[in-house]
Chain A
Amino acid sequence: MIKNNLKIINESKKIKLSIIAIILLLSIMGSLSIGFLDIPFSTVIKVFFGGGTYSESFTILRVRLPRIVIVLLVGFALALSGSVLQTVSRNDLADPGILGINAGAGLGVTLAYMMLPLTGASLYILPLSSFLGAVLMFGLVILFSIERDKGLNPDKLIVTGVGTAIAVSGLMVLLINSMERTDVQFIKSWLSGDIWGDKWEFVLIVFPWILLGTLIVYKKRWILDIMNLDEISTKSVGVNVERERLILIVVAVLLASVSVSVAGAISFVGLIVPHAAKLIFGPLHKNYLPGAMLLGGTLMVLADFIGRNLFYPQGIPAGIVVSLIGAPYFLYLIYKKGNA
C-alpha cells in the first residue's frame, strides 16, 4: 500500500517535471528561432544536423545557442542557490541578490575588470574573483547579523544584506568612475543584469563550477531536509549542523557568484523560483530541487527571450524582465506573510 502511494507520488512528480521540461524546450526552440533574424523551426533543426546556410548556422550555433546555454546554467544555479539559502538561513525571503552576495560578486568582477585585460586565459579568473568578493561580502553581512548568545538573526541578515547591496553598488560606480568613460557602460549594464558573457568560452568557464555546486547540493539533499526541522531534532540526528550549514552556505555563494559573474546582477530568480517549486513539488528537497532548477532555467530563458525581442533594437536586460516578474510576486509574499 505505502509502496503504491510512493509510486503514485513519484509518477506525478515525473509528470510535473516533464511538463516543465517541455515548456523549457519550447522556450529554447523559440529563443533559437526568433530574434534579429527570424529562422523557421525546420531550419533550426536542419542546422543541428549540419545543414542550413552559413549565416543561419553561424547565428544559431555561435550566437544564440551559447547565450541560451549560459542563461540556462545561470537559471539553474540561481534557483539552486536561493533554495539552499532559504533553508540554511531559515528565512524564506532569502535570495543571493537580497543578501548582498550578488553585490560582493560584482565588486570582485569590477576589481578583476579593472586590473586585468579580460581576454583569453585571464577570463578564467573572473569566476574566482567573483566568488572571492561574494564570500568576503557575505561574511561581512553574516558577521553583522550575528547576535551575541542568540546566533544568527534572520531578519537582521536580510536588512544588512539589502543595505550592503546598495552600498557596494555605489562603491562599484566609484571604482569604475576612476577609470575610462567607456567602462562605465559595462558596469551599468552589469548592474542591470544584462547577460554579457554570451560566448562559448564563457560556458566553459562557468560550467565546471556550477556542476560542482550542483553535485554537492545533490549529495547533501537529506541534510537540507534535516535543517528544516527544529534545533533539537536536528541535533538528535547526529549531524554536525553548524559545519554542514557553513559548507552549504559556501556552495550557495559559489553558485550565485559564478553565475552573476557572467550574467550580471540578477535578483529574484533565487527568491521566487524555490517558492513556486515548493508549491508544486512539496517541501522535501529531493523532490523540489530538480523542479526548482528547471523552473529557474525556464524563467531565465523566457526573460532573456522577452528582453531581447520586446524593444527593438536595444532590448532590455534579462535582469530587468526578471525584476518585473519577481518584484510583484515578492511583494505579494510579504503581504501574505504579514496577514498570515
Chain B
Amino acid sequence: MLLIQAALFIIALSFGAKDIPFGDVIGFLLGTVNNDNTLVLKEIRLPRVLGALLVGISLSVAGSIMQGMTKNPLASPSTFGITAGSTVFIAILFAFSPKVSNIMILLCSLLGAFLAALLVFTIGMSGKYKMNTSRIVLAGSAISILLYAVADIINVKFGLAKEISMWSNSGLIGITYQELIIVTPIIVVCSFIAIFYSKKLTLLSIDEELALSLGINVKRLRTILFFLVTFLSGAAVAIGGNIVFIGLVVPHIARQFVGKDYSRIIPSSILVGGSFMMFSDLVARTINAPNETPVTAILSVLSFPVFLYIVKKGAIL
C-alpha cells in the first residue's frame, strides 16, 4: 500500500494542466534536475499534492476515530456536521476582516469544528437510545444544512460570495507552503497520538464495559479522542475547504484489508486516505483541464458506491 501511495505521489506530481515527464519528476525529487518543469513542480504541483495527502490523511484518521468511539459506521467529520462548523466560522472571520492570516483561518476552523462537534454529540447522543445510528446522522445533516444556511447568509450580508466561494470550492487550488507549514505539525502529531491510543480505541469500539474493566479511563479516552477529531477535521478544512465522504468511506475500505483492530485500521487509513485524496485531486485537476473541477464532486461520485455498499451490508448497528 505504501508503494501504491508513493507511485500515486509521483503520478500526481507528473500530470496536470501541464504534463511533466516522470524523469523530470524523479530528478526534481532527488534534486538532480533543474529546469522549467521543476519550477512548476516546486511552486505549484508539490504543495498541492502534499496538501491533498495531508487532507486525505487527517479526514480519514478523524473518520476512523469517530467510527470507533461512536460505534457508528456512518460517522465522519462531514456526516456529523463538524466540517460545516469550520466553514461557518471561517465565513464569520471573512465577514469581520477582509484580510485574514492563515493562522486566523486555522484557529477559526478549529473553533468551529469544536463547537459543531460538541453540538452534534450532545443532541445525537442524548436520551435513552444513545448512539442511535440514523438519529445522529440526521442530527449531523440537519446541523450541516443549518450551518451552511448561516454561512450563506453571512456571505450575502457582507458581500463575501466571491471570497468564500473561492475559498470553499477551490479546495486545494493555490495552496502555499506557508499554509502547509502551519497545519502539517497538527496533522502529523494528531495522527501519531491517534496511533498511540488505537489499542484502547479498539477496546472501546468492542465494548465500553470491557474497556472499563481493563482499567481504561473511558471518560478521559473519549475526551482525548474528541479533541483529536476536532483538530484533525479543523486542520483539514482550513487548507482543503469542504470535503465530504472521504472520512466516511476510507475507514471502511481500510477495514476490508486489515480487519477490526484500530491499531491497524488507523495506519492503513492514513495510507488509503492519502492515496484516495491525491487520486481525486489528480482527477479534479485533469478531467477538464485547464479548468478545475471541485474535488468534492469527484469524491462524492467515487465514494457513493462504497457508501451504498456500507449501508446495504447492514452496517447499521
Contact = CB atoms under 8 A, between A and B. Distances in A.
A154 to B, nearest CB: 9
B142 A159 contact: no
A246 B124 CA distance: 32
B150 A324 contact: yes
B22 to A, nearest CB: 28
B135 A323 contact: no
Given A98-B141, A156-B311, A174-B297, 14 more contacts: A93-B138, A98-B138, A159-B134, A162-B138, A166-B300, A167-B300, A170-B244, A170-B304, A173-B294, A178-B288, A268-B145, A316-B152, A324-B149, A337-B127
Interface string B267-297: 0000000000000000000011001011011
Contacts of A98: 138, 141
A340 B128 CA distance: 8
A254 B288 CA distance: 35
B307 A167 contact: yes
A50 interface: no
Contacts of A11: none
Nearest to B78: A166
A170 to B, nearest CB: 3
B126 interface: yes
B308 A163 contact: yes
A172 to B, nearest CB: 8
A163 B307 contact: yes
Contacts, number: 134
Counting chain A CB atoms within 10 Å of each CB, the highest count among B137, B146, B314 belongs to B146
Contacts of B293: 173-174, 177-178
Contact of B146 (A164, A327, A334): A327
A192 B297 contact: no
A333 to B, nearest CB: 9
Interface string B108-147: 0000000000000001101111001111011101110110
Interface in B76-127: 78-79, 123-124, 126-127
A153 B150 CA distance: 33
A311 B308 CA distance: 40
Interface of A: 93, 98, 144-145, 147, 153, 155-156, 158-160, 162-164, 166-171, 173-174, 177-178, 192, 267-268, 311, 314-317, 320, 323-324, 327-328, 330-331, 334-335, 337-340
A156 B132 CA distance: 12
A145 B139 CA distance: 20
A327 B311 contact: no
A338 B153 contact: no
Given A177-B294, A311-B153, A144 B142 contact: no
Contacts of B152: 192, 316-317, 320
Given A169-B300, A173-B294, A323-B146, A159 B311 contact: yes
Contacts of A320: 149, 152-153
B138 A327 contact: no
Nearest to A153: B316
A170 B297 CA distance: 4
B139 A167 contact: no
Contacts of A340: 127
A166 B81 CA distance: 13
Contacts of B124: 334
A320 B156 CA distance: 12
B213 to A, nearest CB: 28
A292 to B, nearest CB: 20
B119 to A, nearest CB: 9
B92 to A, nearest CB: 16
Nearest to B134: A155
Contacts of A327: 142-143, 145-146, 149
Contacts of B294: 170, 173-174, 177
B214 interface: no
Contacts of A315: 156
A128 B164 CA distance: 35
Nearest to A315: B156
A142 to B, nearest CB: 12
B296 A159 contact: no
Contacts of B314: 147
B153 A330 contact: no
A337 B149 CA distance: 24
B181 interface: no
A190 B142 CA distance: 19
A332 to B, nearest CB: 9
A235 B303 CA distance: 41
A177 B245 contact: no
A158 B288 contact: no
Contacts of B288: 177-178
Contact of B128 (A153, A317, A339): A339
Given A170-B297, A173-B294, A267 B145 contact: yes
A15 B29 CA distance: 78
A338 B311 contact: no
B299 A328 contact: no
A167 B245 contact: yes
A156 B316 contact: yes
B74 interface: yes
Nearest to A173: B297
A145 B78 CA distance: 22
B3 interface: no
B30 interface: no
B4 interface: no
A31 to B, nearest CB: 20
B298 interface: yes
Given A155-B316, A159-B316, A314-B156, A171 B301 contact: yes
B74 A160 contact: no
A170 B127 contact: no
B304 A167 contact: yes
Contacts of B133: 155, 159
Nearest to A145: B311
Contacts of A153: 316
